[in-house]
Amino acid sequence: MNRQGIGMTSMRTRQRLVQRLVEQGITSLAVLDAVRDTPRHFFVDEALAHRAYEDTALPIGWNQTLSQPYIVARMTELALAQGTPAKVLEIGSGSGYQTAILSQLVGEVYAVERIKGLVDRARKRFRELRLRNVQLRLADGLAGWQDKGPFDVILSAAAPEQVPLALLEQLVVGGRLILPVGDQRQDLQVVTRTESGAETEVVEAVKFVPMLPGVQR
């Protein structure tokens, strides 16, 4: 990925972030390289750009946040755990940062976001960064993206209270849904679709925004 705005966002600052992710247990070199090479400052307002390489969530408008780099790295690592997925559905693409990371590591990324303002901005960023394997659409991710499925991995940055059946049904057998589940208390879960149903693995406690129904124009 082209490296924009070297200076404020020097390689050293980015290396420090990568080092922090290593200390927190991220081991995938592919993921660490993608974090190092992706201009996170590009996904936030200019006024926040100087904080883009801190391991913290940042506001992106419309009451939403760009996830903390650690959790983006963790979910991406989980997405790659069974080899390189050909097709990934991302729900709640927000700023598009997680999408940009995924686009470097998987075949095709289909992304949905329910807030139009965020979709418009993210689309512009994808064009500028020349991400060619990303399709983004304004839609309610609770319904998945039926026409483009089935997917090898579905990854969500918004938390439903329960695992949505519609999403499980859009996975290939052996495919995995990686998402936060819950209300006040949330767990990051990996739900694997099996021949007969699904198997759930709880990864760790997390805090995400809720998955809300409908779109906001």
Based on the shown chain and the rule CB under 6 A, indicate whether residue 178 belongs to the binding site for ligand SAH. Answer: no
Based on the shown chain and the rule CB under 6 A, indicate whether residue 158 belongs to the binding site for ligand SAH. Answer: yes
Smaller CB distance to ligand SAH: residue 160 or 175? 160
Based on the shown chain and the rule CB under 6 A, indicate whether residue 91 belongs to the binding site for ligand SAH. Answer: yes
- 95 as an active site residue: the answer is no
At its nearest, how many Å lie between ligand SAH and the CB of residue 156? Answer: 8
Q: Give the interface size with ligand SAH as a residue count (CB under 6 A).
A: 25
Q: Which two tokens stand for residue 207?
A: 């805090």
Q: Which two tokens stand for residue 17?
A: 């972030």
Q: What is the DSSP letter of 134?
A: E
Q: Which two tokens stand for residue 32?
A: 């660490």
Positive/negative CA dihedral, 35, 146, 164, 112? positive
Smaller CB distance to ligand SAH: residue 63 or 196? 63
- Whether the CB-CB separation of 141 and 92 falls below 8 Å is answered with yes
- Whether the CB-CB separation of 122 and 95 falls below 8 Å is answered with yes
Residues that bind ligand SAH (CB under 6 A): 60, 64-67, 91-95, 97-98, 112-115, 118, 140-142, 157-158, 209, 211-212
Which are the catalytic amino acids? 67
